[in-house]
Structure 1
């Protein structure tokens, strides 16, 4: 069941254009099982109270940490063929592509959950592999990652704007106009953004920094609830000025 997260006078709230409903996710991290459940929630919600234009927005970090990165990408690609979807890039997609281009990035990727991604593609990496073994494993990974996954990863956007909302993976740098934000901040920023009470010109919807429950502020909402560790994948529904979460 959907639960209301925020309730004020509608004139004080950011709004989406008439007829649009957005369903937003962040930081799926290889939990294809939870994502499939949430797709069913969306389908039921849309059947019961159809919107003229439903858009599903994904805020990045589809891979690593959780057990089903391969399956998660398959689900997202399949979903894009049947629904209007927007896919943003997360820092984990950036590192995944980097290690596929250059095996020297293996250690950095391994420390943030890359081994789980390799295992989802049927590779069994060693925890104490030599540099030569790492190179061999990355070559093996290149051979099994489907072309459709690479095309998907290379097509990801950095941000998405709709109405009064700005969707991004990590956040934005205070004091910089949204159109001038740097990719490194959009994918990686934490404290400078999270501690800011600045009006950014749009209401920011983001993930990247795990919280126990959606963190709702006057200028932003964080919907990363640590799905890979908690089993809690948050779905945010926005229509008009109403923000609702599962």
Structure 2
């Protein structure tokens, strides 16, 4: 029986990615859905992209675009960056790419441009997206596609929703009626002092803070069983990540 696994924000932590794939016992027959933000934070951003490019050739992988992936693509194509990116994980990535060949840089540009999706909707009406969406009619009607990997209002709304509110209520958010489940990253659960996946309404947040002091998480979307790496500072003891 094949399975579908979802992996949270990696942020350059290749060692953590190795751990969660091993601990979940995912096989080449399984589908792996990555929620984006493969880079920025820990020192192995180029190696993470190398690994994902190779992995895609061996099994079914779906790669969602994260905001940090867009920022890296802009840097690789223009050698330009803004200070906010530089302060929020970009510096480690810039440093790492100083050791990368031109051939590899071009391979990474091609991957970031052509292999990443804004979102993925499966046959069970489960939506996989890095951050969220704002249009109450759903992803197909979003006015500003960059919100797919920048929005935080979907998760903020899910957190603030009264769990006793009926779906039939006129006050129930329409966005939460559209999809059976929504899997996101982008806003780490460490912001609410949690380092495990959090489910609110139909939204599952799988970003458990691997960019900072939390672990990386992989979850089986059918059973909801999940596995985690060691906290990233333990795997990269001589680095600061995005702390």
Q: TM-score range by the shorter chain?
A: 0.7 to 0.9
Question: What's the secondary structure of 2:217's corresponding residue?
Answer: coil
Alpha-carbon contact 2:132-2:154 (below 8 Å) kept:
no
The one of 179, 187, 194 equivalent to 1:209 is 187
Which structure 2 residues correspond to residues 17-166 of structure 1 after superposition, within 5 A?
A: 21-42=3-24, 44-46=25-27, 54-122=30-98, 143=102, 145-155=104-114, 156-162=116-122, 163-166=124-127
Question: Relative to 1, partners in 2 of residues 1:104 and 1:77: Cα closer, same or farther, differing over 3 Å?
Answer: closer
Question: What's the secondary structure of 2:36's corresponding residue?
Answer: coil
Q: Looking at CA atoms only, which structure, 1 or 2, has the larger radius of gyration?
A: 1
| C-alpha distance in structure 1 between counterparts of 2:214 and 2:51, whole Å | 18
Alpha-carbon contact 2:198-2:206 (below 8 Å) kept:
yes
Alpha-carbon contact 2:134-2:153 (below 8 Å) kept:
no
Counterpart in 1 of 2:205? 222
Structure 2 unaligned runs (5+)? Answer: 162-172, 228-243
| C-alpha distance in structure 1 between counterparts of 2:68 and 2:90, whole Å | 9
Relative to structure 2, which stretch is displaced further, 30-39 or 195-204? 195-204
| C-alpha distance in structure 2 between counterparts of 1:121 and 1:100, whole Å | 9
Deviation at 1:122, TM superposition (A): 3.7
Please, what is the CA RMSD of the aligned residues?
Answer: 2.3
| C-alpha distance in structure 2 between counterparts of 1:200 and 1:148, whole Å | 39
The one of 176, 181, 185 equivalent to 2:137 is 176
| C-alpha distance in structure 2 between counterparts of 1:219 and 1:174, whole Å | 16
Specify which structure has the bigger relative contact order, considering alpha-carbon pairs within 8 angstroms and separated by 6 or more residues: 1
| C-alpha distance in structure 2 between counterparts of 1:200 and 1:20, whole Å | 28
TM-score by length of 2: 0.75
Deviation at 1:72, TM superposition (A): 0.6
TM-score by length of 1: 0.75
Structure 1 unaligned runs (5+)? Answer: 1-18, 48-52, 124-140
